Amino acid sequence: MTLRKIKYLKIDNNSDWLAYQRGLPKDIKGKAKAMRLPLIITRPIGLTKGASIAQITAEIEAHNKVFDDVCRMLRSSSEGTVNKKQVIEDAKALLEVRGIEQGALIDVDPMHPAFDGVLDTAFDIHVDQHKHGWEQHYPNQEKMPEDLMSAVFTLLNTNKGHGEVHLFSDAAEHYKQNKQQEMRLKATSEGKIKKLQRAWTKELKRLNDFMVFSGNQEFTTDNCNIALRLYRKHLLEKHQSSPATAKRDLVPAAAALRRYAEEVAINVAVTTKLTIGEQKINAKQRSVVDIVKELPLLWLAAHDDAYDHMFRLHVFGIFSGSHASELIQSDVSDVYEDYFILGGTKKSSRTRPAVIVNKTHRQLLRQFKDYPKDEFGFASVCGRRAIQTESNHSKLIKDGLYEATGNPALTAYSMRHTGKHLGEIKGVSRLPTFQRMFGWSSGDGVQDDYGAAGIYSDAMLNEFRALTDTLIDGLPEQPNSPTSADTSNIVAFKPQR
């Protein structure tokens, strides 16, 4: 057999070095373009023309396996991932095509340019897919599946031929590295960075507390499950009056061990049955705004310049399903005539438009339209409040509630639960559209009912508007101007302190 007869072998007349070359099938070329992968896979095989036919054939077969993995990865990214092991294989194929070695980020300083260089090569345009405006910048591209991105991160931080003996500390470090890299990709604004960093500081302490409690054991099925169950018992004894606190302390440890078992030590099975059943029984009853006495006072406060800008937006959120954590991450450039797009939702299924209640609400949302944008090109509808802490926001809202109603029991959560309570009174809380408006359901089937535009269709927005109108029905009339409200027909009220 001559070299010319070996299928998929590329021979360069100007070089002794050989390469593998094979074109992707037609049915996945569109997917390859969307992921910015070459339509013809060309990789060096590390052999020259002087190598034996057997050596060359063996290398071609090895590259054929990688090629098959690439094809499967492109098809599975559309059909849904079967399991974590499969995703890891897909990630290996992607790195092979991109020419990046497994473990390329090990011992690389995240602040060094080489770190970003590896990420840019591995992910191409998808390295920034979590940032605001990515869809607008790449309107014809699809996002890379989250589980595939996570698997690529794992491989970039894992040595080839990693030893079979794993420790709890390996799982903890693996979790830390992935979380830090995910934070970097999710950073879409200065305020978001600070929020992620505050949350990570708390999570890291909880993970370290588990390591102190359990010790650095070998990472086996028995050790993982026994350690987690003992730690769960310890936390429930420690936080007897607050099972919710026990759950928060347990989550990082369980997540770290499960992730390591799914992505690295795939022969270890970590239990998923660690629920804290006492939590629901001991759940706190959230105070809600009194619909008859207090809600009209909050409505007036929302139209009063004397109250804080963010507090007033939060009040309007009762009627449109938008709340502080989402408002601070909503971009002023996403405010339109009749609705705005909420940012900062915990899940992509909760990303949704929020109805603009009236002119006053619209003016408040656009108040910072000329505010300087941060390095991510983001300017919050809440202005400088966006970079303050969650505790600052909670105090600001609680103070505003007390100022308007005189009720010291009301908190920021009160307003979120008031929207649901008001919906129950009005008889609309069980409507699927109401639950979608408040982000409590994924809205499956919305596209079938409302076409490609889905929740952004005129029909869906009209339904949101009708629900908002129902919620505000019966509240005092307002002239929709935050600076020229006519209060001649309003009795002055000063709550008792």
Q: In 10 A of CB 309, how many CB atoms?
A: 19
Averaged pLDDT, 465-478: 88
Task: Give 474 or 348, the one with higher predicted confidence.
Answer: 474
Residue 311 pLDDT class (50, 70, 90 cuts): very high
User: Is 101 a residue whose pLDDT tops 60?
Assistant: yes
Residue 176 pLDDT class (50, 70, 90 cuts): very high
Reduce the DSSP state of residue 167 to 3 states and report it. strand
- Residue 386: the pLDDT is 84
- Residue 103: the pLDDT is 85
| Contact present, 248 and 231 (Cβ < 8 Å) | no
Q: Tell me the pLDDT tens digit for each residue of 188-210.
A: 777 778 878 888 889 999 999 99
Q: Residue 46 — φ and ψ, nearest 5°? A: 75, 20
- Residue 496: the pLDDT is 42
How far CA 257 is from CA of 176, 313, 412, 423, 453, in Å, comes to: 12, 41, 34, 41, 40
141-177 CB burial, b ≥16 within 10 A, e <16: bbbbbebbbbbbbbbbbbeeeeeeebebebbbebbbb
Q: 91: closest CA among 156, 40, 143?
A: 156
Task: Give 75 or 57, the one with higher predicted confidence.
Answer: 57
**Max mean pLDDT range (67-71, 93-97, 468-472):** 468-472
| Contact present, 254 and 228 (Cβ < 8 Å) | yes
User: Is 404 a residue whose pLDDT tops 90?
Assistant: yes
Residue 277 pLDDT class (50, 70, 90 cuts): low
User: Is 163 a residue whose pLDDT tops 60?
Assistant: no
Counting residues of the chain whose pLDDT is more than 70, the rounded percentage is 86
How far CA 113 is from CA of 108, 128, 180, 434, in Å, comes to: 9, 16, 17, 47
Q: Tell me the pLDDT tens digit for each residue of 12-50.
A: 888 899 999 999 998 888 878 877 788 898 989 999 988
| Contact present, 434 and 423 (Cβ < 8 Å) | yes
Q: What is the pTM of this model?
A: 0.51
Task: Give 70 or 158, the one with higher predicted confidence.
Answer: 70
User: Is 108 a residue whose pLDDT tops 60?
Assistant: yes
Counting residues of the chain whose pLDDT is more than 90, the rounded percentage is 31
Q: Residue 45 — φ and ψ, nearest 5°? A: -105, 0
